[in-house]
Each structure stands twice: as C-alpha cells, then as structure tokens.
C-alpha cells in the first residue's frame, strides 16, 4: 500500500475537466510540500507534467494544472482531449529520505 493514495480510475468526455487526487496517507511523507505528477502512455516512459505542486514545465499544455490542500494534492486537466488518455502518477519525497509514487490513476476519455 503506497503512502500516496490515488483513485484507480477516472473518466471524462472530451472538453470536460477532471481532477485526480493524491492523498498522503502516511506521516512518512512528512510535510508533503512538494509533489510532482507524471503522465504515462502505454508502452512509453513517464513524462513530467507538474512539479513543485503547481508548476508546469515548458512544453506541457496549460490545460494541466496542479494544486494542494492539506495532505491532498490534485491534478486537474481541463478541456479533455483524446490524447490525454493515459496513466497518471503523483510522487513525493519522504521523511525517510526516500521517494514514493502513488498507485496510479487510469484516465479514460469517453
């Protein structure tokens, strides 16, 4: 059981917005101030989408945004497109000086 809990799946129709949550369920995640998000298409390597909770790397669509409230971080995708269908993972540093990933969320675009 990961110290970061994500929903197994979410879905939405093209043009809609969806939000994927990432909840720290263990005190081992510490202050949980820094979260990053990754997108992974089948058979491909993960790709950075959000860093430091809410920052977007250059080249990533502004339809992707991140936020955090308490011990829950969130990734929001607005204006859903078919190409957004993928697995999404959150990640954080822990107080044990290790790193952890959430279990992953499969996004289906209906």
Partner 1 sequence: QVQLVQSGAEVKEPGASVKVSCKASGYTFTSYYIHWVRQVPGQGLEWMGIINPSGGTTRYAQKFQGTVTMTRDTSTSTVYMELSSLRSEDTAVYYCARYYYNNGGYPSGWFDPWGQGTLVTVSS
Residues of this chain that interact with partner 1 (CB under 8 A) are 2, 30, 33-34, 36, 38, 40, 45-48, 51-52, 57, 87, 89, 91, 93, 97-104
User: Minimum Å distance from CB 101 to partner 1?
Assistant: 4
CA 96 centroid distance within chain: 22
How far apart (Å, rounded) are the C-alpha atoms in residues 61 and 65? Answer: 9
Beta-carbon contacts of residue 51 (< 8 Å; ≥ 6 apart)? 36, 37, 57
User: In the complex with partner 1, which residue's Cβ is closer, 52 or 83?
Assistant: 52
Choice between 4 and 80, CB closer to partner 1: 4
Q: Which residue, 15 or 28, is less far from partner 1 as judged by CB?
A: 28
Alpha-helix residue ranges (DSSP H) falling in the chain: none
């Amino acid at each position: 059981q990961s110290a970061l809990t994500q929903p197994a799946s979410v879905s939405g129709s093209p043009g809609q917005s969806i939000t994927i949550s990432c909840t720290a369920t263990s005190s081992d995640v510490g202050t949980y101030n820094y979260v990053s998000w990754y997108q992974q298409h089948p058979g491909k390597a993960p790709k950075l989408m959000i860093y430091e909770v809410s920052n977007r790397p250059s080249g990533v669509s502004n339809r992707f945004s991140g936020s955090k409230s308490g011990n829950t971080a969130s990734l929001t995708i607005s204006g859903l497109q078919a190409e957004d269908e993928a697995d999404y993972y959150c990640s954080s540093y822990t107080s044990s000086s290790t790193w952890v990933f959430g279990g992953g969320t499969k996004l289906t675009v209906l």
